[in-house]
Amino acid sequence: MSDLKFPIGPFAKPSTITATDLAKAVDTLARIPAKIRVLVGSWSDEQLDTPYREGGWTARQLIHHLADSHMHSLIRYKWALTEDTPLIKAYDQDAWATLPDALMPISSSLSLLEAVHEKIVFIVKSYDFEQLSVAFIHPETKKERNLLENTLLYAWHADHHYAHLERLSERQGW
């Protein structure tokens, strides 16, 4: 079950984030929306409505979740860059996955993910490494997360869910 839940392993923040770590994360963020579109773009409704693991969301919900989650991340970048260590707003991702838009076609969420990643990559590349040490506070953990860590986290998050979709496809023989 752990392999199905965390197919690439849980997020592991390096003890020290390097410029190389950041560059790899930015590259992932730049490339992953197209990889996801190639993987799932021709899936039927039946395929999209298949859970990626027992007890998990459907592929469709997962794709909508990626767009929603990364849209939140974009806003967090903007808050951290324009406010002094802001307390961000969390959201209930499981509740969001049950809203009516989680059942709609995936095309808008694929396009949104592409646009959001384009903006995040542009923002990250617009600042030098030290400037990305600005942070926000997550209300659930009460801990600061700087934008360097956030970039690595969301690159992992994208790869993590891509792996869910890819493994589903492999298991189903699609």
Domain span at residue 146 reads: 2-7+18-172
pLDDT digits (tens, 9 = 90+) for 119-158: 999 999 999 999 999 999 999 999 999 999 999 999 999 9
pLDDT digits (tens, 9 = 90+) for 58-70: 999 999 999 999 9
Number of domains in the chain: 1
What's the CA gap between 131 and 110, in Å, rounded?
A: 30
pLDDT digits (tens, 9 = 90+) for 73-82: 999 999 999 9
Residue 13 lies in a domain: no
Q: In the chain, at which residue ranges do the beta strands (DSSP E only) sit?
A: 135-137, 144-146
Phi, psi (deg, nearest 5) at residue 142: 65, 20
Report the interhelical angle of 147-172 vs 107-126 (nearest 10°): 150
Residue 123 lies in a domain: yes
Q: Contact, 124 vs 74, CB < 8 A? A: no
